[in-house]
Amino acid sequence: MKILGLETSCDETAAAVVCRGDDGRATIVSNVVLSQIAEHAAFGGVVPEIAARAHVEALDHVVAAALDEAGICLAEVDAIAATAGPGLIGGVIVGLTSAKALAWAAGKPVLAINHLEGHALTARLTDATAFPYLLLLVSGGHTQLVGVLGVGQYERIGTTIDDAVGEAFDKTAKLLGLGYPGGPEVERRAAKGNAGRFDLPRPLFGRAGADFSFAGLKTAVRMAAQAASPLVESDVDDLAASFQAAAVDCLADRTRHALEMNGGTPFTALVAAGGVAANRAVAVTLRAVADDFGLPLVVPPLALCGDNAAMIAWAGAERLAMADGDIGRGDMDATARARWPLGELEPPGRAAA
pLDDT average, residue stretch 11-21 = 96
Instruction: Read off the pTM.
Output: 0.94
In 3D space, the residue among 164, 259, 247 whose CA is nearest the CA of residue 200 turns out to be 247
pLDDT average, residue stretch 304-322 = 95
User: Quick check: 302 pLDDT over 70?
Assistant: yes
Domains 2-123+304-352 and 131-303 share a fold: yes
- In sequence order, what are the residues at sequence separation of 6 or more whose Cβ sits closer than 8 angstroms to the Cβ of residue 314? 3, 5, 18, 20, 26, 118, 121, 122, 124, 125
For 286-296, what is each residue's pLDDT tens digit?
999 999 999 99
For 191-229, what is each residue's pLDDT tens digit?
999 999 999 999 999 999 999 999 999 999 999 999 999
User: Quick check: 352 pLDDT over 70?
Assistant: no
- Per-residue confidence at 349, pLDDT binned at 50, 70, 90? low
Cβ count within 10 A of residue 287: 16
CA distance 185 to 258: 29
Give the three-class secondary structure for 324. Answer: coil
Does the domain spanning 131-303 belong to CATH 3.40.50.2020?
no
CA distance 172 to 184: 11
Select the CATH number that applies to the domain covering 2-123+304-352 from these four: 3.40.50.10160, 3.40.50.1100, 3.30.420.40, 3.90.1150.10: 3.30.420.40
pLDDT average, residue stretch 31-41 = 85
The proportion of the chain whose per-residue pLDDT surpasses 70, expressed as a percent, equals: 97
* Domain spans of the chain, in order of start: 2-123+304-352, 131-303
| Residue 27 vs residues 3, 126, 128, 131, 150: alpha-carbon distances, Å | 11, 9, 11, 19, 20
Query: Within a 13 Å sphere around the CA of 92, how many CA atoms are in the beta-carbon half?
Result: 19
Per-residue pLDDT, 97: 98
- Per-residue confidence at 133, pLDDT binned at 50, 70, 90? very high
- Per-residue confidence at 263, pLDDT binned at 50, 70, 90? low
